[in-house]
Each structure stands twice: as C-alpha cells, then as structure tokens.
Amino acid sequence: MKPGRAFEKLIAYLERHLAASDNVLVESPKRILDKTTGRLREHDMVLTVTSGHHKIIVAVECRDRSLPVGVLQIEGFAKKCSETLIDKGVIVSSRGFTSTAVLKSKALGISCLSLEEVETLPWMSKDFTFKQYNTSYKHFDFTVIPEEDFPHKPKVFDLFNEHGEVVSIDDLCNIIGNAIKENKEERNLPPEIGEKTENVSVIVPKLRIIDRESGIERCVKYVNTVVHKEATAVEVPFVMQEYKDPTLESAIAELIVANVDFGFSKGKLVINHKIETGGEIVFIPNPDKPKI
C-alpha cells in the first residue's frame, strides 16, 4: 500500500463532496501519458471538469508528510504537470507549506491547499468523542432442534441450506452472530460490557439436517445456542480539521475525523459540516493492504 493513501482517499472524498456535479469526474489515482517518455505517470488524483465542449484537467498531489511542503516539491510537481499536459495543478499538504514554497507556487501556477488540525470549530465542542462498542464471540455451543424427531438421535450429521450446500460450523457461527447483532440493533440496545453467556434460539430458514448413518433427513425448527462473548467500549476522540487555502482566512471545508475499527472494516468516520451549508457523516474505509 502506497504511503499516504488513506490521506489521498480523504481528500478525494472532500473533492467529490465539494464538486457535487455531474460535470466533474474525480479519479484517484489516475495514470496519464508523459509527453516526453511516452510512459504512463501516476497522479494522486485527477479532476476532469467539463463545461460545454471544453475540458479542464486538474491534477491533485496529496502530501502527508512530517514536514511542510518546500520549494523542491512544488517545482517537481509543476514539472510533472507540464509533462503530463495538466491544465491546473494543486498540492494538498497535511503539514502546510514553507513561505518560499507558497511564493514559488504562485510563480508556477500551482495552487496550495492544506488539511490541518485546528483547536476549535464553530459547530463542535473540543472534547467530542465517539463511543465504539466491540463484541467478540469466544465460543458457540449448538443444539439443532428438528421439526420432527429422528428415530434415533444422530451421532454424526450434516447441515444443508436451501441450495443443497453444506453449512459448516463457521457458517453457522456467522449466521447466529449476525442474528444476535440484528436483534440488538432492532431494539436499539448497546451491548452489556464484560464477559457474558447468552442463550438464544435462532430460526434459520430452510435449513436441513441429515443423519450420516441412516440418511434420514429433517427440516430444522431452530438452533438453540449458548453464546460465550465479551463486549468492550472505547471512547474514540475526533480530530478537528480545516481544508483551506493557507493564504485565505475562511476554510473551504470544516470536518472532524476519528479512526474507527468496526471489526469487519477499519477507516475514518468523518463529519463534514459548515454552519452556512450543512453537511454529512461518512465512513471512509482504509485502503486495502496488498496481497502477498
């Protein structure tokens, strides 16, 4: 995974949100032909703005580094934009720009934007947090209850779904776990914190059980389950940020961002808001790790 890719995804979201138009196509990343070498070169983000029969190509470079962007980075990006026939270049930095870099960017026609942490926002209290609940299922004990008793209790059996596919123990664990979660969500109940044992009966539609020895088949009435689980709660802090031109007073966008882990996916929970225009809440998944 390319360093800074999570930062690029956040900026791509902001640009799509701010464009909010069918006339603007945002692609991240995007490879464009180099006029000198004839090879493709990658830009972090490319915006194609269509107006009538005209098109304007805007390239965005996202720099999530420990230091402000300097003159060398501005010059390098300007050269890259020239070689790939970009109409307008924009650099976004998470650490701002040196004063000389700002001067150089103006001379070369490169726009500078920053996404930086701020102490306060007019619409959000400083200590706002997100409470995240995590439930891990340690162990399941199943008892399969058929609609009709077997002549003799099966010593070994198989479970099948409506398509005739074998339902494994892992499959059954996932079905039971999802049913428990959905039931909690419907009742709008947070999990009880700590280690718990819970008895639940779950109806699995069109589930069948077959005795391996006799071959006798029965429909499953329900699955009685003893669930051993542990629930934890974590206060996740939000970071306040402004997306802006560092030479201007007002921000283009104001947002608060929290790094969250939902178990099935990790990423950024973003509340993007301005008092004048309103806003939205979005979840931006972290980039996938490369397969080895």
Per residue in 105-155, pLDDT tens? 999 999 999 999 999 998 988 888 888 888 888 888 989 899 999 998 888
22 in helix, strand or coil?
Answer: coil
User: What is the number of alpha carbons within 13 Å of residue 21 lying toward its C-beta?
Assistant: 10
Q: What angle do CA 217, 222, 223 make, to 5 degrees?
A: 95
Residue 194 lies in a domain: yes
- Distance in angstroms between the alpha carbons of the first and the last residue of the chain: 11
Q: Is the separation of the CB atoms in 254 and 271 below 8 Å?
A: no
pLDDT in tens, 207-264: 999 999 999 999 999 999 898 888 888 899 999 999 999 989 889 999 999 999 877 7
Can you give the pLDDT at residue 104? 97
Structure tokens at 2: 């390319």
- pTM (predicted TM-score): 0.74
Q: Is the separation of the CB atoms in 26 and 11 below 8 Å?
A: no
Residue 98 lies in a domain: yes
Can you give the pLDDT at residue 1? 47
- How does DSSP assign 148-197, residue by residue? S--SS--SSEEEE-TTS-B--HHHHHHHHHHHHHHHHHHTT-PPPSEEEE
Pair (250, 222) in one structural domain: no
Pair (9, 123) in one structural domain: yes
Residue 292 lies in a domain: no
- Whichever domain contains 92, its CATH number is 3.40.1350.10
Pair (181, 146) in one structural domain: yes
Pair (146, 205) in one structural domain: yes
Can you give the pLDDT at residue 181? 75
Give the single-character DSSP code of 85: T
Pair (34, 165) in one structural domain: no
Residue 228 lies in a domain: yes
What contacts 178, CB < 8 A, 6 or more positions away?
none
Pair (113, 143) in one structural domain: no
Pair (247, 224) in one structural domain: no
Residue 154 lies in a domain: yes
- Cα 105 from Cα 252, distance rounded (Å): 19
- Cα 254 from Cα 55, distance rounded (Å): 29
Cβ-based burial of 40 (10 A; exposed 0-12, middle 13-18, buried ≥19)? exposed
Pair (112, 156) in one structural domain: no
Residue 291 lies in a domain: no
Farthest-apart Cα atoms in the chain, separation: 89
- Cα 58 from Cα 69, distance rounded (Å): 19
Confidence band, pLDDT 50/70/90 cuts, at residue 187: low
Pair (102, 14) in one structural domain: yes
Pair (14, 116) in one structural domain: yes
Give the range of the structural domain holding residue 86, as residue numbers without chain letter.
Answer: 5-127+239-285
What contacts 100, CB < 8 A, 6 or more positions away?
70, 71
Domain count, the chain: 2
> Which residue matches tokens 């560092």?
246
Pair (156, 118) in one structural domain: no
Pair (255, 110) in one structural domain: yes
